[in-house]
Amino acid sequence: MQLAWLPGDLVAGAMLAAIAIPEQIATARLAGMPAQTGLYAFAAGSLAFALFGRNRFLSVGADSTTAPIFAGSIATIVIGSSTPYPALVGLVALFTGLALLLAGVLRAGWIADLLSIPVTIGFLAGIGVHIIVGQLPSVLGVSEGPGPLVMQLVALVGNLPHLNGATLLIGAGVLALTFGAERLSPRIPGALLGLVGASVAVAALHLDRHGVAVLGALPAALPRLGFTFVGVSDALRIAPVGVIVALVCMIQTSVVLRSFPSNPGTQDDPSRDFAAVGAGSIVAALIGAFPVNASPPRTAVVAQSGGRSQLAGIVAVAAAGLLIVFGGRLTADLPLAALGGVLIFVGMRIFRLADMLRITRFGDYEIWLVVAGALLVIVLPIEAGMLFAIVLSLAHGIYIVARPPSTELVRVPGTTIWWPPGSALGEHAPGERVAGVLVFAPAAPITFTNGEYIVRRLRELVGAAAEPVQLVILEGSGVIDVDYTGAHLLCAAIGDLHARDITVALARFEVPRAQSALERTGVIAALGPDRTFKSVHEAFETLKGCLDSTPPSQLGTKPA
């Protein structure tokens, strides 16, 4: 930290406090915890990250993305358990923190890259729907329905005749003010203004006497260290929830770090920051709060308000501490509908419609991954939906690797370039084939996941050629590695081609790792001497003499 940064950090800290305090109180309600625990979580996350984190802007605290995940999971566990709900929440925070700490120590930042953007957007949309549906009863002034999301919606519709007009007006007003403020400038604390205005209206008009539920005063006490230990059976049921929450934290933290790097133009390994967020969750567990996470909007406020270091977060924590110690009565008339309006705004922001439209326009079939990810989280219990969404993303990635583009290349007329037919060949389209020659290009590492498929495609193309193939050139610019299974399959295919008097050569296997693997696993030896080349053109010119049915000078070509 530099002294010249102090004015900017103080301003950013004040702006962060104005945005974070109402959001943290609202998120505590979303987590099913007392309002003050949201501020405790904010303090734990912010201070731990200031001590151990690397990024200068990242804001850590209670998060509306993870709160529905662990709240929904614990709601089912607590039914058959003698352990109080807050103790189970603290255990989730502990497991989340330990998982993040382990990921940081093992430098496992790459784990966050395993989930594709469409699947991530899908399950975030599902969480957004959970938030919105869960807060509608508060905004409408009706009782909440039990059970899964669909049952809650049915109960909500049945309770509509009993809605409270004043409650609805407050919730809708705060939602509109929060949206409007964000549209004008992210620096305008629309949520804070809405909560203050709603509290004033309740106090002045005595709306609490007309069915408007209020939060009540915050206890004027700072958190105390302590942890409630639970039984082994509860711990075993809670541990997977903590791992899921940790994975979501890793994904979101990675996104924030990419969006707001400490030094523009560089990208640090996120592992240390994972560990710092994990330390925040562990501290939160020890002071009676819940898991913490990186926040994209709060981080944006720090960066855009002139913050230059983590001092901005410390200033905001100090403001939250002053509220707890001296200003607890300020929340006495705060209507729950106003908090519901803030949370519905958060849920709508999580539901990234613009990204969905962009994926629809440019992502081919991947919009169905968005839909599937959302439906899994909406229809199933939220933790099960999250797990299946993660499996869906991994299955999508495996499918891409297992069925890579493996195609024939054709020669661009008048050049030495070989290119996939039907792709952009510019003014040279459509390309030409050389009689008796097959140039085959697998665009992926050749491994146990796809080796059988790649070799099968090669054999299909050899069999489907209009004229007998005499020369096969394997073009390897897209092959970055070959494992033992892939090499074994390649050697078998090369042996079959040799048995049919077909010459086989390799060209453009450029990656040293792939070159070493081919040498080590015996693929080079299986080819025979002098059968590796730096380009397809070099391989063709060197080996075209093997096309013995036609003199090399009269080789025929035809359009692809």
Q: What is the CATH number of the domain that holds 503?
A: 3.30.750.24
CA distances to 14, 87, 245 from 61, rounded to whole Å, are 16, 19, 14
State the pLDDT at residue 560.
53
* Beta pairing, strands 60-62 & 292-294: antiparallel
The single-letter code of the amino acid at 420 is P
Mean pLDDT check: name the lowest of 33-37, 180-184, 223-227, 309-313: 223-227
Last residue of a domain, one of 383, 399, 415: 399
Using CA atoms, how far apart are residues 309 and 557, in angstroms rounded to an integer? 66
Mean pLDDT of all residues in 264-286? 88
Residue 31 pLDDT exceeds 90: yes
CA distances to 57, 157, 265 from 87, rounded to whole Å, are 31, 34, 43
Inside any domain, residue 2 = no
**Total count of domains within the chain:** 2
Share of the chain above pLDDT 90, in %: 53
Inside any domain, residue 455 = yes
- pLDDT tens digit string along 139-162? 999 988 777 788 888 888 888 898
State the pLDDT at residue 529.
87
Which residues form the domain of 434?
Answer: 404-559
Last residue of a domain, one of 399, 425, 447: 399
Residue 204 pLDDT exceeds 80: yes
Residue 551 pLDDT exceeds 50: no
CB 40 within 8 A of CB 34: no
Inside any domain, residue 440 = yes
Instruction: Please work out, in degrees rounded to the nearest 5, the angle formed at the alpha carbon of residue 520 by the alpha carbons of 514 and 525.
Output: 100
Give the helix ranges, DSSP H, for 31-164.
35-52, 67-77, 85-105, 117-140, 149-159
439 confidence band (pLDDT: 50, 70, 90): very high
- Residue whose pair of structure tokens reads 């359009």 in the numeric block: 559
Using CA atoms, how far apart are residues 113 and 97, in angstroms rounded to an integer? 20
Instruction: Please work out, in degrees rounded to the nearest 5, the angle formed at the alpha carbon of residue 501 by the alpha carbons of 499 and 507.
Output: 100
Inside any domain, residue 100 = yes
State the pLDDT at residue 535.
94
Residues 334, 264: one domain? yes
State the pLDDT at residue 524.
94
State the pLDDT at residue 267.
66
Mean pLDDT of all residues in 265-294? 90
Indicate the burial class of 94 (C-beta count within 10 angstroms; 0-12, 13-18, 19 or more).
Answer: buried
Residue 97 pLDDT exceeds 60: yes
Residue 468 sits at φ, ψ, to 5 deg, of -55, 135
Last residue of a domain, one of 399, 432, 457: 399
Inside any domain, residue 62 = yes
Residue 549 pLDDT exceeds 60: no
Indicate the burial class of 114 (C-beta count within 10 angstroms; 0-12, 13-18, 19 or more).
Answer: middle
- pLDDT tens digit string along 379-388? 888 778 878 8
Residues 59, 174: one domain? yes
Mean pLDDT of all residues in 230-255? 89
What three-state secondary structure class fits 295? coil
Residues 432, 318: one domain? no
Residue 294 pLDDT exceeds 50: yes
Inside any domain, residue 1 = no
Question: What sign does the dihedral 408-414-417-421 (CA atoms) show?
Answer: negative
Using CA atoms, how far apart are residues 461 and 466, in angstroms rounded to an integer? 10
Residue 457 pLDDT exceeds 60: yes
What three-state secondary structure class fits 298? helix
- pLDDT tens digit string along 462-511? 999 988 999 999 999 999 999 999 999 999 999 999 999 999 999 999 99
pTM of the model: 0.78
The secondary element (H helix, E strand) that includes residue 61 is strand 60-62
What three-state secondary structure class fits 80? helix
Residues 162, 48: one domain? yes
The 3-class SS string of 176-232 reads HHHHHHHHHCCCCCHHHHHHHHHHHHHHHHCHHHHCCCECCCCCCCCCCCCCCCCCH
430 confidence band (pLDDT: 50, 70, 90): low
Using CA atoms, how far apart are residues 506 and 139, in angstroms rounded to an integer? 67
State the pLDDT at residue 245.
93
State the pLDDT at residue 553.
36
Residues 225, 197: one domain? yes
The secondary element (H helix, E strand) that includes residue 255 is helix 232-259
State the Rg of the chain over Cα: 30
The secondary element (H helix, E strand) that includes residue 559 is strand 557-559
State the pLDDT at residue 55.
93
Residues 521, 466: one domain? yes
